[in-house]
Amino acid sequence: MTDAEGEATDRSVLVFTSHRPEEVVEPLRETDLDVAVVSVSDDGSLPSRAVTTVRRTRRALADHDPDAVLLDCYEAMGALVTLLADRRGVPLVDRLVGDTWLRFENGIREATADGEWGRAASYRAILAVDEFVFSRASGFLVVSDQLGEVVRRRTGCPPERIGTVPVPAPGVKGGSPAGDAGRFGIDAGRVLLTVTNLKYRAKLRGVETALEDLVPLLDADPDLAYVIAGGGEYVSELRATLDERVDDPDVRRRIHALGFVDGVADLYALADAFVYVSYLDGYPRVVLEAQEAGLPVVANDAFGMREQVTDGESGSLIDPEESGALREAVSALLEDPELRRRYGERGRDRVARENSPAVVGGQLETFLRKFVAEID
């Protein structure tokens, strides 16, 4: 907006968000933007949520007359917000934290292979709705450069209208090593940790890939344990895989597939190193959590992990398809406490430097101001 003399006034941004609203709201509080936030609920039936979303969107657009809408929710509710904002001529910036196309294409392929035609059709419908939302966007916010390239390729959006802004540090602190050791019966001198979202088969496959290199380490070191935390529909499949693949009862006893854990700070405090292999991701919060806790990270060289971990400085980036690469990187950490300490400190320093709410908020503000100026 401009005043009567043509001088720029405070920019007004209306944010619609559902999942993890703190990733956007907290950084924006650190800015000079005029920000209003509308929470889009995931509770209730689809018709009732639709009615509530339409009512709240209309009221918010009328009350705030925003320069731009930052959309951080998708599927049916995101489509409704898009339609209403589009009708009022308000430019939309869509925020993406992961590769939506890959996520649903994976789901369609898996459901089809399993003969679950209804689930495959549902995934196709959801992807079609999301693609409609993306087609109406004037710009995008993404959490990693790699995801920005995916968006550019999939949507044709000009690179100058795609901003890369990472998520803020989640603030995992104050864990006690004794807490989860006792709660879950983890009795080992050294612990490797993976925290992941087992809602997705591509992340399950990452854990299974890591196991190929970690089981021999566990077999060779009776004082080493591997802890896998994270809920989702594939937890039971992971446990079945462990029972099938791990023949030695003592090794199996030292692999803990915990499922969902309410509060993971104790696990990070307990661990000596963080292992993360994933075939579907954006800019994983769990890597930030591990780095905040001062853990060295071994991850596959993909997605946002390559922007979170500097190979040979704050951790190791490996090719999980290269036989022994993960085992070698983890072994180096286990054999060298000073290397673990150095990598952990550098990772923690990087998070403090690049992922504080103030820094992330400044990047959001810079992009949104530039975006609105170009749209005007």
Q: What is the DSSP letter of 156?
A: -
pLDDT given at position 179: 57
> Does any domain span residue 42?
yes
**CA distances to 75, 110, 149, 200, 231 from 102, in Å:** 15, 12, 13, 11, 21
Which whole number is the average pLDDT over 248-260? 96
Same domain, 152 and 187: no
- The token pair at 287 is 């890597």
Residue 175 is predicted with a pLDDT of 66
pLDDT of residue 3: 41
What pTM does this model have? 0.91
Higher pLDDT, residue 188 or 309: 309
Residue 344's domain comprises 177-354
Examine the domain organization and report whether 161 and 204 are in the same domain: no
Q: Taking all residues of the chain, what is their mean pLDDT, rounded to a whole number? A: 92
> pLDDT tens digits for 197-215?
999 999 999 999 999 999 9
Residue 89 sits in the same domain as residue 148: yes
Q: Same domain, yes or no, for 346 and 360? A: no
Give the mean model confidence (pLDDT) for residues 151-175.
90
Assigned domain for 112 exists: no
Asked if residue 256 and residue 225 are part of one domain, the reply reads yes
- Would residue 1 count as lying in a domain? no
For residues 247 and 167, the answer to whether their CB atoms sit within 8 Å is no
More confident residue, 178 or 135: 135
Question: Quick one: average pLDDT of 210-224?
Answer: 96
Kindly state whether residue 124 falls inside one of the protein's structural domains.
no
Q: Are residues 347 and 361 in the same domain?
A: no
Domain shared by 141 and 213, yes or no: no
Categorize the per-residue pLDDT at 177 as very low, low, confident or very high, splitting at 50, 70 and 90: low
For position 116, what pLDDT does the model report?
A: 95
- Which of the 8 DSSP states describes residue 166? P
What are the tens digits of pLDDT across the range 345-362? 999 999 999 999 999 999
pLDDT of 9 > 70? The answer is: no
Residue 119 lies in a domain: no
pLDDT at residue number 8: 45
Task: Work out the average pLDDT over 130-137.
Answer: 97
- Other CB atoms closer than 10 Å to residue 361's CB: what's the count? 23
Higher pLDDT, 178 or 214: 214
The arithmetic mean of pLDDT across residues 69-96, rounded, is 95
Mean pLDDT to the nearest integer, 270-292: 96
pLDDT digits (tens, 9 = 90+) for 16-67: 998 888 899 999 999 999 999 999 887 888 899 999 999 999 999 999 999 9
- Please check whether residues 371 and 345 belong to one and the same domain: no
- Stretch 131-149: mean pLDDT, rounded? 97
Assess whether 25 and 82 both reside in one domain: yes
- Rounded CA-CA distance 99/144 in Å is 11
pLDDT of residue 6: 40
In a domain, 325, yes or no: yes
**Secondary-structure percent of the chain, ordered helix, strand, coil, rounded to 5:** 50, 15, 30
By residue count, the chain amounts to 376
Give just the sign of the alpha carbon dihedral 115, 121, 126, 130: positive
Assess whether pLDDT exceeds 90 at residue 372: yes
Q: Is 200 found in the same domain as 327?
A: yes
Judge whether residue 1 has pLDDT over 50.
no
- The amino acid present at 352, given as its one-letter code, is A
Does the residue 126 lie in any domain? no
Residues 362 and 347 in one domain: no
Mean pLDDT of 88-103: 96
CATH classification at residue 67: 3.40.50.2000
Give me the mean pLDDT over the 268-293 stretch. 96
pLDDT of residue 58: 96
Residues of the chain above pLDDT 90, percent: 85
Question: What phi-psi label fits residue 119: left (phi over 0), alpha (psi between -120 and 50 degrees) or beta?
Answer: alpha
5 belongs to a structural domain: no
Residue 68 bridge partners (DSSP): 13
Q: Are 141 and 204 part of one and the same domain?
A: no
Domains contained in the chain, number:
2
Token pair 């919060």 in the structure block, residue: 285
Predicted pLDDT at 247 = 94
Q: pLDDT exceeding 70 applies to what percent of the chain?
A: 95
